[in-house]
Amino acid sequence: MGSTQDLDYPQIIFQYINGFLVSKVLFTACELGVFDLLLESGEPLSSDAIAAHLGTSPSGTERLLDACVGLKLLAVEVTREGACYRNTEISNLYLTKSSPKSQYHIMMYYSNTVYLCWHYLTDAVREGRNQYERAFGNSSKDPFGAMYRSEEEMLKFMAGQNSIWSICGRDVLAAFDLSPFRHIYDLGGGGGALAQACVSVYPNSTVAIYDLPKVVQVAKEWFVPSEERQITFHEG
Ligand SMILES: C[S@@+](CC[C@H](N)C(=O)[O-])C[C@H]1O[C@@H](n2cnc3c(N)ncnc32)[C@H](O)[C@@H]1O
């Protein structure tokens, strides 16, 4: 039940109304490489300098940067020469491509794929089926067939899943003591990030990943080094 204050000014309703705008500001700044540029530069940059580096419009860039400041994704320093922008600590850690904790890939997946499907949420609820057909022209009968409509799309999905495990994989695996189990099976193990975290947390374990043949091929080629002897793949 809402408090009287909530009923006078429905803050959570306004937060929900604007939520997708916040996501898109974050996704756009990541996609354009704002956080990567500010990490590489090692010093605060003006909006014009950022626009020149990124090849974006000065006016659009300034608005995007100010929105990021409002969201605490960037900090601004105002001097006599004007405003200069720098990354916040959290942005350096999670929003730059080169960070080991980077969430770049999952954000790009959300921005370019999930976002488009969610545009058709009303249709999904009416029809009781996913909306890949409307969003991408792929049959909705086989969700993974639609998600993996090209090797590029598959790579993006797998990299996105892996980026989440880079943050919480070890905690998930340590939540239960799996040390008595020497042979662990990861059904639908995808890009293998959880398996890699598993053999790191439990060095005496081996992990067998089962997944679709084309996913196994991509995981071996891109994500799990061939020297990794504790992880095996099985196509199913
Ligand atoms: C939501 S993803 C999770 C991937 C992985 N566990 C992770 O968290 O990164 C589900 C996984 O199930 C796999 N999958 C879907 N259908 C499958 C099938 N019929 N046989 C084996 N794997 C399948 C997908 O390819 C995908 O890797």
Distance CA(236)–CA(209), nearest Å, equals 10
What's residue 210's pLDDT?
98
What's phi and psi for 235, nearest 5 deg? -85, 130
What's residue 2's pLDDT?
62
- Would strands 231-235 and 206-211 be described as parallel, antiparallel, or unpaired? parallel
Residue 190 CA, closest ligand 1 atom number:
27
How many Cα atoms sit within 13 Å of 151 on the Cβ side?
8
| CA 212 to ligand 1 center in whole angstroms | 7
Token match 């061939």: residue?
226
Q: Which residues contact 200 (CB under 8 A, 6 or more apart)?
A: 170
Q: Which residues line ligand 1 (CB under 6 A)?
A: 144, 161, 188-191, 193-194, 210-212, 215, 236
The SS3 of residue 44 is coil
What's residue 114's pLDDT?
95
What's residue 1's pLDDT?
53
The SS3 of residue 92 is helix
User: 120 to each of 27, 58, 129, how far by Cα in Å?
Assistant: 20, 33, 10
- The closest residue, in CA terms, to atom 18 on ligand 1 is 212
**What is the sign, positive or negative, of the torsion defined by CA atoms of 159, 163, 168, 174?**
positive
| CA 194 to ligand 1 center in whole angstroms | 12
What's residue 4's pLDDT?
77
Q: Is 208 left (phi over 0), alpha (psi -120 to 50) or beta?
A: beta
- The closest residue, in CA terms, to atom 12 on ligand 1 is 188
Domains of the chain with bracketed CATH: 4-94 (1.10.10.10), 176-236 (3.40.50.150)
What's residue 81's pLDDT?
83
What is the block-wise mean pLDDT of the chain (236 residues), using blocks of 10 residues?
Answer: 80 96 98 98 97 98 98 94 95 97 97 95 96 90 91 95 94 96 97 96 97 97 95 95
For residue 68, count CB atoms less than 10 angstroms from its CB and return exposed for 0-12, middle for 13-18, buried for 19 or more.
Answer: buried
Residue 148 CA, closest ligand 1 atom number:
25
